[in-house]
Amino acid sequence: MTHFLDIHKTDATDLRGMIDTARAIKDARAGRPKGAPDDDKALAGHMVALIFEKPSTRTRASFDVGVRQMGGQTMVLSGKDMQLGHGETIADTARVLSRYVDLIMIRTFDEATLLELAEHATVPVINGLTDRTHPCQIMADVMTYEEHRGSIAGKKVVWTGDGNNVCASFLHAAGQFGFDLTFTGPEVLDPEPEFVEFARSKGSTVMIERDADRAVEGADLVVADTWVSMHDAQSSRERRHNLLRGYQVNDALMAKAKPDALFMHCLPAHREEEVTSAVMDGPHSVIFDEAENRLHAQKAVMRWCLGV
Ligand code: CP
Ligand code: NVA
């Protein structure tokens, strides 16, 4: 079964192929008037289940629109309305859903839920974010970097703040796409060693630098994410803000990066917390291209999964 569970679990040549396909899919739609019929019918006759155990704007909308644009149909399921893990095993849910649909995308909490679903499903499963990783986001991010600046190989990416699920997938991508990553944040929020070791094992330089100004020197890309993720306890909010305040991406910090550095954020962003509005809406920012590219990148991921 061709699942898309994580960037480090997917062949690097296949990942490159997906980025190239995504670029071609985007180009084919460029300039198309709204309402014009789509030529791409790769998912005609396919039913896709989109399961959400956490909130989502981009993942939900981009997968839903992407499937429909390719001629398929979607079924959006909310975790709280399902039997998922409430008495019925994940394995049985996987077996049942596989009888109805051709592809499953799931956003969940525990990575074990994703893995159990994938193990027992007889259709491909896509990771739409867990507490540990967010691979679809980083496929869109690599695509976005490359459409603005060319190959990401050998570039310096600086991750600021919390070494969270999105950071983890960036580290996987560093290894698979051949770029370097500097993490700057407080020690207690360092990314898990396993993610750092993966990137290093593939030859990427991964640095941990507590001083944000020093970290950003020479950066080609600066990335921020929320200081409190969906899986973090709300009670940790104040502590996290106190730990992370010094890592806000603002104009002064961006000025330390290369003059043509890009700024990315997977969104949703908390303006004036992890990043200022001046940076989000400023000349370095490509955040809305990133959001758009979720659509194109995930179409390529789905086509790869289904072999269509
Ligand atoms: N970036 C991202 O995954 O956004 P959503 O949480 O809105 O899906
Ligand atoms: N790190 C964030 C990403 C949201 C898309 C979270 O998990 O909430």
Low-confidence ranges of the chain (pLDDT < 50): none
Annotated catalytic residue 3: no
The atom number, within ligand 1, closest to the CA of 230 reads 6
Q: Which of 58, 107, 130, 134 to mutate to test the pocket of ligand 2 (most atoms within 8 A of CB)?
A: 134
The yes-or-no answer on residue 148 being catalytic is no
Structure confidence by residue, pLDDT tens digits, 189-247: 999 999 999 999 999 999 999 999 999 999 999 999 999 999 999 999 999 999 999 99
Determine the Cα–Cα distance for residues 193 and 70; give it in Å rounded to an integer. 39
Atom of ligand 1 nearest to the CA of 134: 3
pLDDT digits (tens, 9 = 90+) for 91-104: 999 999 999 999 99
CA–centroid distance, 56 to ligand 2, in Å, is: 9
- Whether 57 lines ligand 1, by a CB cut-off of 6 Å, is yes
The two tokens of residue 8 are 């480090």
pTM above 0.95, yes or no: yes
d(CA 39, CA 48): 19
Q: Which residues contact 236 (CB under 8 A, 6 or more apart)?
A: 228
> What is the predicted pLDDT for the residue at 105?
98
Q: Judge if the beta carbon of residue 137 lies within 6 A of ligand 1.
A: yes
Name the closest ligand to CA 127.
1
What is the reported pLDDT for 5?
Answer: 98
Residue 263 is predicted with a pLDDT of: 99
116 alpha carbon – ligand 2 mean position (Å): 22
| Active-site residue flag, 266 | yes
Distance from residue 235's CA to the centre of ligand 2 (Å): 17
Contact (CB, 8 A) for 121 and 274: no
Cα separation, 293 vs 45, whole angstroms: 24
